[in-house]
Amino acid sequence: MNPANLPFDSEAMLEGLRTWVECESPTWDAGAVNRMLDIAARDMAIMGATIERIAGRQGFGGVIRARFPHPKQGEPGILIAGHMDTVHPVGTIEKLKWRREGNKCYGPGIYDMKGGNYLSLEAIRQLARASFTTPLPITVLFTPDEEVGTPSTRDIIEAEAARNKYVLVPEPGRADNGVTTGRYAIARFNLEATGRPSHAGATLSAGRSAIREMARQILAIDAMTTEDCTFSVGVVHGGQWVNCVATTATGEALSMAKRQADLDRGVERMLALSGTANDVAFKVTRGVTRPVWEPDAGTMALYEKARGIAKSLGAELPHASSGGGSDGNFTGAMGIPTLDGLGVRGANGHTLEEYIEVESLVERGRLMAGLLATLD
């Protein structure tokens, strides 16, 4: 089976993808994410998949697991793992409207990562239409909470990965048309400052501002960044009334490192910030963590398979480890051969200029089809 001969059609793929993109699905809106999962479930049911819905927890949406018909159903096969949540609040579609400009197509979540998820299903669809039976059974798992560190579905992802031989992750491809064979470690932290209230006009000096302490700590956290381990504060909330000295302020911080030992040291430094100064208590607690995924022999053999397919299609396929976490962190760290970054090319993820390169839908769709058709 030559994937170059499969009749992928970028215009038809865009038409289907548009429905997905215009169904906004921000992580914290479980109902919105579930509506997106309903659309994907319907598409896969039409393709002949057996659909299982797993209820959400911790306030997040649910999970869809789709198993496609296969003579070896139930045996270890290929897991395609993707997330359907995005960082864009409902209403973003009015600011980041679906639009096509030459080889670019824009929309919330189109790049990260609905485009990659959609082309994965198109690859399965094209193989089925060609009456081609893949050597291994295929399972697709779509989850609701990757953008916040996968707190509610990590156990499901790891359990499903353990039942399979390979994991393919259609997160966005690299700008050089490459794929991802490893990812850095990431830790999240919750920050809380607790001060003493007073009237900001009448008795300002009697109060102790939690906002002031949070601001001081933010500068200290940013200053901890080195080449080995980065630190940043991305969320801050504090105060209720401008005429009151703020009693509480909260925040969220992120740390990333290429090596687990560096992240572990970073975690220790963050937790050591807890304490009391200037009559204000500051508390750091650890949130979700993604382990370092370093490529092993299994992952590199999987990459070489993909590189050979890409070469047969007339393309180079470089690889590298990447910053920014994905659910590939979990499966790769488990030692299961994992190939990430198999999704679309594009840019400006998590912004109001997020887009994909339209031609990459077909190019990456053929690559995915080639992998599904040859992995054994």
Active site residues: 85, 146
d(CA 133, CA 336): 23
**What residues have CB less than 8 Å from 125, skipping those under 6 apart?**
47
Residue 179: C-alpha distances to residues 103, 169, 185, 320 (Å): 21, 10, 18, 7
Report yes or no: 187 and 286 within 8 Å, Cβ to Cβ: yes
What's phi and psi for 320, nearest 5 deg? Answer: -170, 165
Q: What is the DSSP letter of 159?
A: H
Neighbours of 212 (CB within 10 A): 18
What are the residues facing 84 on neighbouring strands?
none
Neighbours of 182 (CB within 10 A): 22
What does the buried/exposed string (b/e) look like for 37-55 if buried means 16 or more CB atoms within 10 Å of the residue's CB? beebbebbeebebeeeeee
Neighbours of 340 (CB within 10 A): 30
**Which stretches does DSSP call E strand in the chain?**
50-54, 63-67, 78-83, 99-101, 104-106, 138-143, 166-168, 179-183, 185-194, 229-238, 248-257, 275-277, 280-290, 319-322, 338-339, 346-347, 355-357
Nearest to 193 by CA among 270, 242, 253, 251: 251
What does the buried/exposed string (b/e) look like for 128-154 if buried means 16 or more CB atoms within 10 Å of the residue's CB? eeeeeebebbbbbbbbbbbbbbbebbb
DSSP class per residue in 237-271:
EE-S-TTB--SEEEEEEEEEESSHHHHHHHHHHHH
**77: burial class by Cβ within 10 Å (0-12, 13-18, 19+)?**
buried
